[in-house]
Amino acid sequence: MISAFLLVLCVVFLLFQLKPQRPKNFPPGPPSLPVLGNLWNLNIKNPLKDFERLRQSYGKVYSLFLGLKPAVVFNEFKAMKEAMVTKAADFAGRPQNMLVSNVTDSKGVIMVDYGSLWRDHRRFALMTLRNFGLGKKSMEERIHEEIQHIIKTLDDNTGKTLSPQFLFHNAASNIICKVLYGTRYEYEDETIKIIVRCFTEIIKIANGPWAMIYDSFPLIRSLRLPYDKAFQNMERADDSTFSEEQLTRMTFDLYAAGTDTTSNTLLTGFLYLMIHPHIQERCQQEIDRVLQGHDQVTFEDRHSMPYTQAVIHEIQRIANTVPLSVFHCTTKDTELMGYSIPQGTMIIQNLTSVLREEGQWKFPHEFNPENFLNEQGEFVKPEAFMPFSAGSRICLGEGLARMELFLIMVTLLRKFKFIWPEDAGEPDLTPVFGATLTPKPYLMKIQLRGNQ
């Protein structure tokens, strides 16, 4: 009996030692369990509702333990701005020794930790993108070239229903491939199918339950578990003519930044425009008026289309494509909103809380372009609009994404009418969680507009 009692006592003592403890003046949070930390508080398949529930209980800045690893969750605009803009350098690190950083060998530019290496490579990436035409007329021409392939597919399906998932993903993929590699792939090409499949699987694994298990429990990483597929896919995606590993990783980062966010935003956009045909029609009236007598839209035309601009930005807000951004970590001991946050603490940005924050938006919980229009009908962009995060590590692909979204949506809305199929039932607006939020697969009916 005494031996059994001592054994139980030892087990309890060990478990107590493995129970994570919050440092002094650390942000509050839910009670944690030994070994598991706060994983029991989260639905690891989709934790977004749990983050919101915890925000209501513990405030704008709270803490969690993913296993034994501490993390601080930022919510709402005030906290996000202080961290990502005002104290950008303090919160610009990247957590290392996680699935994503290990799969990419912490190379490239997205997962590289903050410092001189990151600054050099980000500067190189931005300079190279500019040299390849980002923000210039040549980039618009590349996008318009790909739009013609989208139009051909839609023309072939006029009067029919079409599933747009692969169409938009392949189009966004081709635009960045044309920039990075100087080539595009036909939508049925096996090479691009493999690239898209590998990329999609990596993203799905990196934001699924197995990644959280991998990140929380380092001792199990040698086991053959489903996260191994991410490493295999990365090796296959690395099959490139570039010999330098760093350059290869950087092209993967730029491909990632320029593909999934844009395609999923387009999918969200056309879904909502079918559900709100009066908004689609008002966009088309503005587009017809501004582009009358012109062969094609230019990016500069956005300044003459306040309503269409508002609709596209509202689509981005509602799409909330990267709801938790990419995880950051602190680069030194710092403070935020009165709390002490030690160096190396993982930082999670709950962008949903900003993009739908009451007090920041006229209509935070509904799809309404008035969120980006003033009383005079002019386009305005609130500070809380940060779908690509903010500060020094804002998404590399933002500039390209903005140009693609405007040119693609305006061109397609000018030529086609998009209708929710009569036999498709009620639209399901619940997104599928991953590194990016994506609408559930849906069908659209294509009609040529009467002015064509």
| Dist CA 303 CA 377 (whole Å) | 13
- pLDDT for position 20: 76
Cβ–Cβ under 8 Å, residues 230 and 214? no
Exposed, middle or buried by CB within 10 Å (0-12, 13-18, 19+), for 153? middle
Q: pLDDT tens across 18-37, in order?
A: 567 888 999 999 998 887 88
Write down the pTM of the prediction: 0.85
- The beta-carbon contacts of 104-107 under 8 Å, at least 24 apart in sequence, are 104/234, 104/249, 104/252, 104/253, 105/245, 105/249, 107/245, 107/246, 107/249, 107/250
pLDDT over 80 at 228, yes or no: no
332-369 residue pLDDT tens: 999 999 999 999 999 999 999 999 999 999 999 999 99
How are beta strands 328-329 and 346-350 bridged, if at all?
Answer: antiparallel
Contact 196, 170 (CB under 8 A): yes
**What's the rounded Cα separation, in Å, for the pair 2 and 417?**
79
Q: Tell whether the model's pLDDT for residue 66 goes beyond 50.
A: yes
Q: Which superfamily does CATH assign the domain made up of 17-448 to? A: Cytochrome P450 (1.10.630.10)
Least-confidence region, from 84-88, 131-135, 177-181, 430-434: 131-135
Task: Report how far residue 26's alpha carbon sits from residue 349's, in angstroms, rounded to the nearest whole number.
Answer: 17
Q: Note the maximum CA span of the chain.
A: 93
What confidence tens digit (pLDDT) does each residue in 290-310 have?
999 899 999 999 999 999 999
The arithmetic mean of pLDDT across residues 85-93, rounded, is 91
In total, the chain counts a number of residues equal to 452
**Can you give the residue ranges of every domain in the chain?**
17-448
Query: What does the pLDDT average to over 359-382?
Result: 96
Under the banding of pLDDT at 50, 70 and 90, the label for residue 220 is: low
pLDDT of residue 138: 82
